[in-house]
C-alpha cells in the first residue's frame, strides 16, 4: 500500500513538473513581452520616418501612447493575445509597409525574397524559426500585393479596335511569362492612337514590371528625380543602409528648390538623404507613338505608386482617377526581429520626397484629371475613367 502511494505521488509530481515546464517553455513571460515591446518602441522612436505624418493625417501621436501600449501588452494572458495586441499597436502607425509578420506563410515569403541578400541574417535564428513553426494560421494580408499571380489576371485588349489599346496590370510582377505577355501586346500597338494602362487596385510588387513597360513605350530616355530621407542616427537604420552599401549626404545639402515644400520635421528628425536619378532608357524597337493614360485609385501603393510618381514627374503618361495610396519611390522596408518572441517586424525605412519637395506618403500622387467615381468596371462603356480618356482623345 505504501509503495503504491509513493508511486502515485511520484507520477503526480512528474506530471506537474512537465506541465509547468511546458507552460513556461511555450508562453512568454510578462517581462519578456515588455522587453520586446520596449525594443520595438525604441526602433520606431529612433528610425521610423512617418511619426509626424501620422500626427497630421490621423491625429495619432504614437510615441505619446507608450504607457497605454505597455498596459495593453502587460494585460495579455498568452502569446496569441500578445501577438494580436502588438500587431494592433503597430497598425496605429497607419503605414502599409509597417506591420508585424504574424503567420508562417508571410515568414516563408520574406525569407525566400531575401534569401540571396545579406540584409537580414535572423531568419534561421532558433527563436525565430520556433516562433513561426507555431504560427500556422493565415490571418494577415501582408503579402497579398506581392503574392503569386497568373498571366490570366492580366487584361490586354482594345477599348476601340486598332485605335485605343488597354492593359490592366493587377500587380507589379517580374516573372518572365507575365512581362512577355505585356510586351507582346505592346508590339501590336504600332498604329494605335491611344494606350490606357490601368493600375487601379494595384498594391505593388517589383519595379522591374513597370520599368519594362516604360522602356518598351518611351520615345526617349526618361529620368525622374527624388530624395530618400533617412534617420541615420538610428543604429537599426544605419546598419541596414551599410549592408546595402548606401552612402548618404548630409540633410543640410538638400537643394533649395526641394526645401520649399518639405515637411517641417525634415531637418529636426532626419540626418541624411540619398538622391535618386532614376533613368529608364528607351527600347530601340520603339513603335507606339500615341498618347498614354495611367488609371489610378487610392489602392495604388508601393511599387505601383513609384510608377505613378515617375509618370507624373516625367510626363510619360496622363494620370486619371483619384489620389493614390502613397509610400512609393524609396527602397525596401527594413525587417528586424524581437529577441524574446522571435517575431519579425517590417517597417518603412525612408521618407521619399519628390522633385518638388513633397512627401509622397503624406500627399500621395494627385492625378491630372480627378474622377469622383473611378471604380474599374467589367464594361468599358460604364467605366468613368475610360470615358474620360475617350473624351480627351476626341477633343484632341
Q: Residue 268 has what DSSP assignment?
A: H
Q: Residue 20: how many CA atoms within 13 Å on its side-chain side?
A: 6
Residue 83 near residue 345, CB atoms below 8 Å: no
Q: What pLDDT is recorded for position 86?
A: 98
Which residue ranges in the chain fall short of pLDDT 70? 1-25, 137-149, 395-396
Burial label, 247 (beta-carbon count in 10 A; 0-12, 13-18, 19+): exposed
Residue closest to 146 by CA, chosen among 229, 205, 66: 205
CA 107 to chain centre: 15
CATH of 153-231+271-330+366-395, one of 1.10.10.10, 3.40.50.300, 3.90.226.10, 3.10.129.10: 3.90.226.10
Residue-wise pLDDT for 331-345, tens only, equals 999 999 999 999 999
Question: Which grid coordinates belong to 174?
Answer: 517580374
Residue-wise pLDDT for 345-374, tens only, equals 999 999 999 998 999 999 999 999 999 999
Q: Which residues contact 277 (CB under 8 A, 6 or more apart)?
A: 223, 224, 225
Residue-wise pLDDT for 153-174, tens only, equals 999 999 999 999 999 999 999 9
Mean pLDDT (the chain, rounded): 90
Residue 25 near residue 127, CB atoms below 8 Å: no
Q: What pLDDT is recorded for position 13?
A: 44
Q: What pLDDT is recorded for position 395?
A: 63
Q: What pLDDT is recorded for position 342?
A: 98
In angstroms, the CA 214 to CA 142 distance is 28
Ranges in the chain annotated CATH 3.90.226.10: 153-231+271-330+366-395
Amino acid at each position: 500500500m505504501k509503495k503504491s502511494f509513493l508511486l502515485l505521488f511520484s507520477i503526480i509530481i512528474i506530471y506537474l513538473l512537465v506541465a509547468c515546464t511546458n507552460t513556461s517553455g511555450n508562453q512568454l513571460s510578462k517581462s519578456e513581452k515588455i522587453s520586446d515591446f520596449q525594443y520595438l518602441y525604441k526602433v520606431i522612436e529612433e528610425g521610423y520616418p512617418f511619426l509626424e505624418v501620422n500626427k497630421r493625417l490621423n491625429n495619432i501621436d504614437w510615441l505619446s501612447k507608450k504607457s497605454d501600449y505597455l498596459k495593453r501588452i502587460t494585460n495579455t494572458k498568452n502569446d496569441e493575445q500578445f501577438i494580436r495586441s502588438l500587431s494592433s499597436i503597430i497598425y496605429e502607425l497607419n503605414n502599409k509597409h509597417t506591420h508585424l509578420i504574424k503567420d508562417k506563410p508571410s515568414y516563408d515569403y520574406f525569407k525566400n525574397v531575401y534569401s540571396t541578400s545579406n540584409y537580414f541574417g535572423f531568419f534561421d535564428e532558433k527563436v525565430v524559426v520556433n516562433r513561426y513553426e507555431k504560427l500556422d494560421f493565415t490571418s494577415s494580408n501582408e503579402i497579398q500585393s506581392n503574392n503569386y499571380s497568373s498571366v490570366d489576371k492580366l487584361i490586354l485588349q482594345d477599348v476601340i479596335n486598332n485605335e485605343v489599346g488597354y492593359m490592366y496590370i493587377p500587380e507589379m510582377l517580374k516573372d518572365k511569362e507575365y512581362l512577355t505577355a505585356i510586351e507582346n501586346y505592346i508590339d501590336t500597338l504600332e498604329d494605335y492612337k491611344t494606350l490606357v494602362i490601368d493600375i487601379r487596385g494595384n498594391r505593388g510588387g517589383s519595379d522591374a514590371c513597370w520599368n519594362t513597360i516604360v522602356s518598351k513605350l518611351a520615345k526617349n530616355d526618361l529620368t525622374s528625380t527624388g530624395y530618400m530621407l533617412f534617420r541615420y542616427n538610428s543604429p537599426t537604420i544605419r546598419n541596414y543602409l551599410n549592408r546595402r552599401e548606401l552612402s548618404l549626404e548630409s540633410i543640410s545639402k538638400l537643394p533649395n528648390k526641394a526645401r520649399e515644400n518639405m515637411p517641417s520635421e525634415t531637418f529636426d528628425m532626419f540626418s541624411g538623404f540619398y538622391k535618386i536619378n532614376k533613368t529608364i532608357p528607351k527600347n530601340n524597337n520603339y513603335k507606339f507613338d500615341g498618347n498614354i493614360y495611367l488609371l489610378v485609385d487610392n489602392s495604388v501603393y508601393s511599387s505601383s505608386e513609384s510608377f505613378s510618381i515617375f509618370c507624373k514627374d516625367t510626363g510619360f503618361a496622363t494620370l486619371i482617377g483619384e489620389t493614390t495610396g502613397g509610400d512609393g519611390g524609396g527602397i525596401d522596408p527594413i525587417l528586424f526581429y524581437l529577441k524574446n518572441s522571435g517575431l519579425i517586424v517590417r517597417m518603412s525605412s525612408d521618407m521619399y520626397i519628390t522633385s518638388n519637395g513633397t512627401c509622397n506618403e503624406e500627399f500621395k500622387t494627385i492625378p491630372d484629371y480627378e474622377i469622383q467615381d473611378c471604380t474599374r468596371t467589367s464594361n468599358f462603356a460604364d467605366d468613368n475613367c475610360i470615358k474620360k480618356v475617350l473624351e480627351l482623345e476626341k477633343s484632341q
